[in-house]
Structure 1
């Protein structure tokens, strides 16, 4: 086990699958005590059991982040208690992705997506950041998305929420950075756990990129470890593109 996050505590939302799970596992592998948070106690228990089996420290705290300030505050309070009184690293990863178009997104869906993807991390950060300031520092990592800056003809609703999260990242960096709390974001490309022998329909969206492949959850987790660790002590308010070059470069076949 490595020690880049030795002695630190972390809360990772949406940590029972995919990117969130990989981040929780990577943090624990680097020595952090991690609260795995999500809606499913069964899946959360599996993540925690796996981390503990590898010698790491983890606990599960169930949370349904519906966008209410009360739900976010309750998670912050319980995670703080489980972690022994402080949260050093917060990862705002939980989110929902309805694959709809503008014309097919009803008002209820609109409100739900903004509640989970924007309001929940807003109020969770509001609950956690002041304690980080009082403790002398911390790191907050938000999850954005490549489609917040490169338009595609579906999921305008989802992409707009991730644009909001990236804007909040910069605003929070200005608000909390002078008090020792670094706030940054990661913008993943198309990321799915690989299934041997299968090609996912979303894989076509990564064609013509320098990487020419989908990303893995571990690709994002590695970036999260960097933003949580001391190596990034001089990094504030960035959106780190971990997208195989999707938003920055196009490869033209000869």
Structure 2
């Protein structure tokens, strides 16, 4: 595979497992120096070791994005690794399902702090430097649930709908200065998180979809890799559904 991202540094949040980890592997395979971040130091260091073992460049930074200080610290530490961040993947996120009346204020704040506020702070800290250099790429990971009125997914879906709108706003704000901002919206995907939902839970979301199967993390990562590459040089503010047709039916 051509090393299309050689010389660039990519920060991927929530990248010690699942879609984030697959994205780190994909971008490292294209030559990027990837910065893996997450709360689990052991998993993060294992991911770095595996990337380095096959000739890739990687570092791990522990980060808890629940607090604003965690996001700001991550941006500062990540930029210091190579002196710049060229690619930002806002992948870290949490999800829960339940009725509106059952959601506590603490759960509401946690969802929005991690899913919306942290990406907002990271973009605010890193995108201006990309714009000053005249190049950069940001991909926000959303979900197909944003286009459906699911009775139990209002909180999660609304947090990701906010990210979809922010993608367009950031594209308008930073695109004229060379920074491309886009979204990838996965459908049902096998990850440690979704598999913890219980047997058959994630599979139930695929009933009646064109693909009629659950996706794999590497399939989402391939879309992210495309959007940060020069092959997507004319793509700004887009929302690429990689969901097996979940949002189409």
Please name the residue that 1:81 is paired with: 80
How far does residue 4 in structure 1 lie from its aligned partner after superposition? 1.9
TM-score, normalised to structure 1, is 0.93
Please name the residue that 1:210 is paired with: 210
How far does residue 101 in structure 1 lie from its aligned partner after superposition? 1.9
Query: What secondary structure, in the 3-state scheme, does the structure 1 residue paired with 2:101 have?
Result: coil
Please name the residue that 2:26 is paired with: 26
Would you say 1:231 and 2:231 are equivalent positions?
A: yes
How far does residue 105 in structure 1 lie from its aligned partner after superposition? 0.6
Aligned length: 245
CA distance in 2, matches of 1:85, 1:97: 33
How far does residue 151 in structure 1 lie from its aligned partner after superposition? 2.1
TM-score, normalised to structure 2, is 0.95
CA distance in 1, matches of 2:40, 2:202: 26
How far does residue 7 in structure 1 lie from its aligned partner after superposition? 1.5
How far does residue 193 in structure 1 lie from its aligned partner after superposition? 4.1
Please name the residue that 2:126 is paired with: 128
Would you say 1:159 and 2:139 are equivalent positions?
A: no
Q: 1:104 to 1:199 in 2, by over 3 A?
A: closer
Please name the residue that 1:184 is paired with: 182
Given that 1:190 and 1:202 are in contact with CA atoms closer than 8 Å, whether structure 2 keeps it comes out as: yes
Tell me how large the CA RMSD over aligned residues is.
Answer: 1.5
The 5-angstrom pairing of residues 1-254 of structure 1 reads 2-68=2-68, 70-82=69-81, 84-193=82-191, 200-248=200-248, 250=249
Q: Higher helix share goes to which structure?
A: 2
Deviations 1:141-196 (A, max 9, x none): 0011100111222121000000000000000000000000000000000111498x
Q: Which runs of 4+ in 1 moved over 3 A?
A: none
Query: What secondary structure, in the 3-state scheme, does the structure 1 residue paired with 2:85 have?
Result: coil
Unaligned runs of 5+ in 1: none
